[in-house]
């Protein structure tokens, strides 16, 4: 298969249209998105004040529990990202063809729709016993680990390995898993803000 | 409260192999606890039962080969015949224009594997569609008789005095000076100075209760059983497309297949996720040319450390706590060797230092990006 054929195949696989594959720029944009998501989470938590333990109903999570859930989910997604990053680095090191277009991250935004939601598995349910300081320091470490995974990838190498992610019924490459961490964090930062506003309105 | 020198938690392949080796090497008064009513029913019982040694990492491959020798040629008194049905494993490796992977470079010069020509591959596994990948045949590997392996480890351990207790989950775990105190679901208390966590997906939870900082992640992967079909030889090989992530093997006249998916999950979860089923059906179309609803399916647990290496050795922080966990879906292949390494470490006997270093729990603390 020549490179044009490979690129055509990439397009059929659901990647975006050829964009000249500015991988350094793509890495920077992804890094920025991850940083923004973790910052949003941290700011939302910092702004909680007495609302930190507020639960609209006994069944719903408090802002602190939401944040704990994010850390538990990050642990799983970072495991996958790290695993794929190792494969991607290995394949890049062996000279595999780096795709000439960047991954279709807008696909992930569709996952924000309610139709694509799924219940968090037991391993990602918050215990409610994690103190705020530990949640925030864990989120900081998660952010640093995300950066480190991304920084460990030669430009484009994250697109060389993917895995079937059955909760969403699709395959994601390293970049998409990192973007999923950001998307998940963004979503829950909004949830924490909503909960804080609801707590303030109820007092 | 009863005190015993060594308590193992987990009656799957890792715990049983460790118990068997401890007994063989002279340990006395060992108690193994299994929360289920029977041994080997959790991750071990829901595995694909495949012996496959090839790995991108040479160290893991050597460890797996040591284990494979045990299963293929069990020691006297362990089992009367090999525990592996050597139907062979075919690995589909590099794509059309890709350079060879690490294991492909190695096996090209080894005697235990050989390259298959496309026609030979089609004859061996007419039910599997290759996509132009190179095919490597490992004739000495194949299907592990998991039930017999579990039974052999259990029998051998019990004969040498290991107490195997089923239906004994750990409800609470506390420190009392140098001892770990366990409250069990059958209402009894046990104390020990050496506690071994070999409980797969439950190990991290127990470790946290014991004060450890070691984190492991249980994940789920689905397996599906496809109806009997013509052209499937029960003695045919296991075929694994490494590049695209799909494998299948003959089973009950049909095929047992897996799309190598990953999902988060608790270790007790075995139900099939509908989205995983849909993704599997698409993959089965691509690799098996089938568009059919599986006859059966389940999800099994694979537990990983952040660098995907096994976790075998003493906890870096908690005295008397020892790990045999994080086998990451390689328990069937590597369990016997994992048990031997753990038992030798526990008894202070000579063991291979390179494996002990590579799998030491200590390595997991502090690294941002796990490296190998």
Domains of chain B are 2-46+146-216+306-368 (3.50.50.60), 89-139+219-301 (3.30.9.10)
* Prediction ipTM score: 0.79
B309 shares contact with chain A (CB less than 8 Å): no
Among A76, A50, A35, which residue's Cα sits nearest to residue A182? A35
Q: B150 with B13: CB under 8 angstroms?
A: yes
B262 shares contact with chain A (CB less than 8 Å): yes
- Farthest CA pair distance, chain B: 66
Low-confidence residues of chain B: pLDDT under 70: 95-101, 108-111, 366-372
Among A89, A9, A27, which residue's Cα sits nearest to residue B370? A89
Q: How far apart are CA B172 and CA B191, in angstroms?
A: 12
Task: Give just the sign of the alpha carbon dihedral B11, B13, B15, B19.
Answer: positive
Give the pairing of strands B254-258 and B179-184. unpaired
Q: How far apart are CA B35 and CA B160, in angstroms?
A: 22
Q: B200 with B303: CB under 8 angstroms?
A: yes
Among B236, B221, B240, B237, which residue's Cα sits nearest to residue B101? B240
A97 shares contact with chain B (CB less than 8 Å): yes
Selected residue of A166, A167, A170, A181 to mutate for chain B interface (largest B Cβ count, 10 A): A166
CB-closest option in A79, A164, A170 to B217: A79
B275 shares contact with chain A (CB less than 8 Å): yes
Write the pLDDT tens digit of every residue in A108-119.
Answer: 666 655 455 666
Q: How far apart are CA A64 and CA A126, in angstroms?
A: 9
Question: Which residues are paired to B68 by β-bridges?
Answer: none
A202 shares contact with chain B (CB less than 8 Å): no
B286 shares contact with chain A (CB less than 8 Å): no
A180 shares contact with chain B (CB less than 8 Å): no
Looking at residue A108, its pLDDT comes to 65
Q: How far is B101 from chain A (nearest CA, A)?
A: 8
A79 shares contact with chain B (CB less than 8 Å): yes
Q: How far is B39 from chain A (nearest CA, A)?
A: 23
Contact A94 B222 (CB under 8 A): no
Low-confidence residues of chain A: pLDDT under 70: 1-20, 106-119
Give the pairing of strands B217-226 and B261-264. antiparallel
Looking at residue A118, its pLDDT comes to 64
Chain A hits for B266, CB-CB cut-off 8 Å, are 121-123
Q: How far is A199 from chain B (nearest CA, A)?
A: 31
Q: How far is A49 from chain B (nearest CA, A)?
A: 29
Q: Does residue A18 sit in helix, strand or coil?
A: coil
Contact A82 B98 (CB under 8 A): no
Selected residue of B264, B269, B299, B364 to mutate for chain A interface (largest A Cβ count, 10 A): B264
**Strand ranges inside B209-272, DSSP E:** 217-226, 238-241, 246-251, 254-258, 261-264
Residues 6 or more apart whose Cβ sits within 8 Å of residue A123 = A72, A76, B217, B218, B264, B265, B266
Looking at residue A112, its pLDDT comes to 55
B261 shares contact with chain A (CB less than 8 Å): yes
Q: How far apart are CA B306 and CA B34, in angstroms?
A: 26
Among B42, B44, B62, which residue's Cα sits nearest to residue B53? B62
Q: A23-46 and A174-202 helices cross at what angle (nearest 10)? A: 20
| Separation in Å, CA A156 to CA A22, A89, A150, A162, B190 | 9, 9, 10, 13, 54
Q: A44 with A36: CB under 8 angstroms?
A: no
Instruction: List all residues of chain A from 108 to 137 with a beta carbon under 8 Å from chain B.
Output: 118, 121-124
CA dihedral (B327, B331, B337, B343) in degrees, to 10, reads: 70
Looking at residue B192, its pLDDT comes to 98
Contact A167 B263 (CB under 8 A): yes
Selected residue of B103, B244, B369, B372 to mutate for chain A interface (largest A Cβ count, 10 A): B369
Contact B279 A164 (CB under 8 A): yes
Q: How many CB pairs under 8 A join A and B?
A: 95
A169 shares contact with chain B (CB less than 8 Å): yes
Report the Cα–Cα distance between both ends of chain A, in Å, rounded: 66
Selected residue of B258, B298, B368, B371 to mutate for chain A interface (largest A Cβ count, 10 A): B368
A11 shares contact with chain B (CB less than 8 Å): no
Q: How far is A170 from chain B (nearest CA, A)?
A: 7
CB-closest option in B220, B262, B276 to A169: B276
Chain B hits for A121, CB-CB cut-off 8 Å, are 263-266, 269
Q: Is B22 exposed, middle or buried (0-12, 13-18, 19+ CB in 10 A)?
A: buried
Q: How far is B324 from chain A (nearest CA, A)?
A: 19
Contact A169 B275 (CB under 8 A): yes
Contact A121 B266 (CB under 8 A): yes
Q: How far apart are CA B189 and CA B181, in angstroms?
A: 7
Q: How far apart are CA B96 and CA B107, in angstroms?
A: 19
Write the pLDDT tens digit of every residue in B163-197.
Answer: 999 999 999 999 999 999 999 998 999 999 999 99
Residue B342 φ/ψ, nearest 5 degrees: -65, -45
């Amino acid at each position: 298969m020549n490179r044009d054929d490979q690129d055509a195949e990439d397009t059929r696989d659901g990647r975006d249209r050829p964009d000249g594959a500015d991988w350094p720029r793509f890495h920077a944009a992804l890094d920025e998105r991850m940083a923004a998501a973790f910052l949003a989470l941290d700011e939302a938590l910092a702004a909680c004040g007495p609302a930190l333990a507020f639960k609209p109903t006994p069944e719903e999570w408090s802002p602190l529990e939401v944040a704990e859930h994010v850390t538990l989910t990050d642990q799983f997604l970072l495991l996958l990202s790290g695993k794929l990053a190792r494969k991607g680095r290995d394949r890049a090191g062996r000279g595999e063809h780096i795709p000439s277009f960047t991954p279709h991250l807008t696909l992930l935004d569709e996952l924000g729709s309610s139709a694509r939601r799924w219940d968090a598995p037991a391993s990602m349910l918050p215990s409610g016993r994690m103190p705020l300081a530990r949640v925030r320091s864990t989120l900081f470490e998660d952010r640093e680990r995300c950066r480190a995974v991304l920084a460990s990838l030669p430009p484009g190498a994250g697109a060389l390995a993917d895995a079937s992610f059955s909760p969403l019924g699709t395959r994601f490459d390293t970049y998409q898993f990192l973007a999923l961490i950001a998307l998940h964090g963004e979503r829950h930062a909004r949830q924490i803000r909503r909960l804080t506003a609801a707590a303030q309105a109820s007092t | 409260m009863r005190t015993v020198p060594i308590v193992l938690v987990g009656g799957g392949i890792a715990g049983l192999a460790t118990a068997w080796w401890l007994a063989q090497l002279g340990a006395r008064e060992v108690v193994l606890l299994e929360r289920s009513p029977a041994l080997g029913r959790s991750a071990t019982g829901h595995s694909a039962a495949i012996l496959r040694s090839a790995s991108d990492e040479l160290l893991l491959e050597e460890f797996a080969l040591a284990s494979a020798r045990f299963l293929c040629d069990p020691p006297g008194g362990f089992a009367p015949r090999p525990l592996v049905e050597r139907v062979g494993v075919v690995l589909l490796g590099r794509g059309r224009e890709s350079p060879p992977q690490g294991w492909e470079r190695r096996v090209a010069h080894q005697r235990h594997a050989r390259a298959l020509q496309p026609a030979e591959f089609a004859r061996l596994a007419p039910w599997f569609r290759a996509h132009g990948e190179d095919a490597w045949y490992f004739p000495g590997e194949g299907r592990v008789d998991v039930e017999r392996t579990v039974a052999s480890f259990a029998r051998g351990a019990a004969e040498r005095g290991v107490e195997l207790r089923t239906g004994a989950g750990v409800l609470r775990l506390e420190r009392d000076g140098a001892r770990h105190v366990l409250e069990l679901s059958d209402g009894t208390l046990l104390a020990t100075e050496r506690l071994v966590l070999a409980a797969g997906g439950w190990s991290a939870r127990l470790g946290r209760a014991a004060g450890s900082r070691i984190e492991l992640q249980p994940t789920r992967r689905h397996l599906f059983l496809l109806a009997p079909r013509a052209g499937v030889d029960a003695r045919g090989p296991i075929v694994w497309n490494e590049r695209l992530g799909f494998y299948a093997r003959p089973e009950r006249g049909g095929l047992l297949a897996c799309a190598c998916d990953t999902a988060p999950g608790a270790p007790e979860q075995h139900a099939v996720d509908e989205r995983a089923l849909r993704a599997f059906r698409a993959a089965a179309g691509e690799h098996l040319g089938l568009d059919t609803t599986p006859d059966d399916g389940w999800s099994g647990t694979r537990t990983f450390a952040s660098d995907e290496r096994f976790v075998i050795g003493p906890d870096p922080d908690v005295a008397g706590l020892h790990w045999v966990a994080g086998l990451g879906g390689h328990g069937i292949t590597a369990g016997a060797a994992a048990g031997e390494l753990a038992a030798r470490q526990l008894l202070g006997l000579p063991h291979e230092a390179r494996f002990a270093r590579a799998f030491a729990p200590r390595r997991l603390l502090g690294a941002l990006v796990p490296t190998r």
